[in-house]
Amino acid sequence: MITRGNPQLNRNGELIHLLSTEGLGKANINHILDTATNFVSVSDRDVKKVPLLRGKSVFNLFFENSTRTRTTFDIAATRLSADVVNLDIARSSTSKGESLLDTIDNLTAMAADVFVMRHSESGAPYLVAQHVPKHVHVINAGDGRHAHPTQALLDMYTIRHFKGDIHNLSVAIVGDVLHSRVARSNIHALTTLGCPDVRVVGPRTLVPSDMAHMGARVCHTLEEGIRDADVVIALRLQNERMSGALLPSSQEYFKHFGLTTERMKWAKSDAIVMHPGPINRGVEIDSAVADGPQAVILSQVTFGIAVRMAVMSIVAGNEG
Ligand code: CP
């Protein structure tokens, strides 16, 4: 993975790319969340548009599948009045052997201003950010197991919206932490914002003890992990990233770590339940919880539009 320096900030500490929540300061994160607050109301207007990216071209490059991230970036860029190009990767010339950087050079020659990029290789957005001309901005929409910064930022926005000051909260992240770019990005964002109690919860095969070095408490039972939590974030079992048998079965996983109404009684009575999606009902979360009164899963999706509008408007407004 390429992580030399901090290529996402300019020499004034302003965001020019968004590659990871690691390396962002509290001020950077709060600036994005505060900017997003202003964009939430745009969605309630008859004309859901502001002219901030008029004349700019945003290219969505999703080398991995996506429903929420791709669509909300598309909506967000459209609401900022940008011209949006969704490259159909399956029909693109990458299938003929064109390299990632050659693809990027050709799209840059079409006057791209912002690349939104998801890739299965950790570090691919870093490679692109260090390759593009100074006026072009790169936003990581998820790279391998490494980072999913806009998901973490919309999660911070959701927590702040429903629970207020992050300084007073206990947040439990439950599930396949080992393979989760969302978990890593959330831990960095939560600790940077001053959350005093971040827990990662799951079986030893999916939550290694060394995750404690990131500033999270490691818990191997659900009861210990979510007891008195204000926020419970469930993660999907990422079978596509598991190289061996890390679990006996998904039924066995649900038996010990699945979120049910009964088990949610261990958390605070007003705890919220989050999930980045896609959810696997009956594996990491029971339908009664996913569709229940504590779930804010669809609010996360809606806030994702405003947060992505904020990220795009901020990076495009800063000089490299
Ligand atoms: N949360 C998330 O990244 O969902 P998608 O894979 O559908 O974009």
Q: Which amino acid is at 241?
A: R
What is the rounded average pLDDT of the residues 265-272?
Answer: 98
In angstroms, what CA-CA distances link 231 with 77, 268, 270, 281? 30, 9, 9, 19
Report whether pLDDT(222) > 90.
yes
For 83-141, write each residue's pLDDT tens digit. Answer: 999 999 999 999 999 999 999 999 999 999 999 999 999 999 999 999 999 999 999 99
With pLDDT > 70 as the criterion, what percentage of the chain qualifies?
96
- Compute the C-alpha angle 151/154/155, nearest 5°: 85
Indicate if ligand 1 lies below 6 Å from the C-beta of 60: no
Are the C-beta atoms of 41 and 58 separated by less than 8 Å? no
Q: Which strand ranges, in their side-by-side order, compose the sheet holding 217-219?
A: 217-219, 197-201, 170-174, 231-234, 272-274
Structural tokens at position 159: 């927590």
- Which pair of tokens denotes residue 249? 């079965």
142 in contact with ligand 1, CB cutoff 6 A: yes
- 231 Rama class: left (phi>0) / alpha (psi -120 to 50) / beta: beta
- Whether the per-residue pLDDT at 245 is higher than 70: the answer is no
**pLDDT attached to residue 3:** 41
| CA–centroid distance, residue 149 to ligand 1 (Å) | 12
Round to the nearest angstrom and report the end-to-end CA distance of the chain.
22
Distance 278 CA to ligand 1 centre (A): 6
How many residues would you count in the chain? 320
* Cβ–Cβ < 8 Å for 286, 7: no
Do residues 237 and 127 touch, judged by C-beta distance below 8 A?
Answer: no
Mutate-to-test residue for ligand 1 from 61, 68, 241, highest number of ligand atoms within 8 A of CB: 68
Find how far residue 182's CA is from the centre of its chain: 5
Handedness of CA 242, 248, 254, 258 (dihedral sign): negative
Domains and CATH numbers, the chain: 26-147+302-317 (3.40.50.1370), 149-298 (3.40.50.1370)
pLDDT at 320: 81
φ, ψ at 9 (rounded to 5°): -115, 145
Q: Which residue has the higher pLDDT, 154 or 212?
A: 154
- Are 178 and 208 in contact by the 8 Å Cβ rule? The answer is yes
Residue showing tokens 């950087």 = 101
- Asked if residue 127 lies in contact with residue 150, where contact means CB atoms within 8 angstroms, the answer is no
Give, for ligand 1, the residue of 66, 118, 297 to mutate: max count of ligand atoms closer than 8 Å to Cβ.
66
By most ligand atoms within 8 Å of CB, the mutation choice from 69, 151, 305 for ligand 1 is 69
DSSP letter string, 109-147: TTT--EEEEEESSTTHHHHHHTTS-TT-EEEEEEETTTB
Distance CA(307)–CA(72), nearest Å, equals 10
CA distance 62 to 72: 13
Task: For the chain, give the mean pLDDT.
Answer: 94
CA gap 285, 292 in Å, rounded: 11
Instruction: Report the alpha-carbon distance of residue 150 to residue 20 in Å, rounded.
Output: 9
pLDDT digits (tens, 9 = 90+) for 4-54: 568 999 999 999 999 999 999 999 999 999 999 999 998 889 998 999 999
- Answer yes or no: is pLDDT of 234 > 50: yes
Q: Are 161 and 299 in contact (CB under 8 A)?
A: yes
* Nearest atom of ligand 1 to the alpha carbon of 67: 7
Asked if 148 and 308 count as a contact pair (C-beta separation under 8 A), the reply is: no
Torsion angle defined by CA atoms of residues 95, 111, 4 and 153, in that order, rounded to the nearest 10 degrees: -90
Q: Does residue 276's CB lie within 6 angstroms of at least one atom of ligand 1?
A: yes
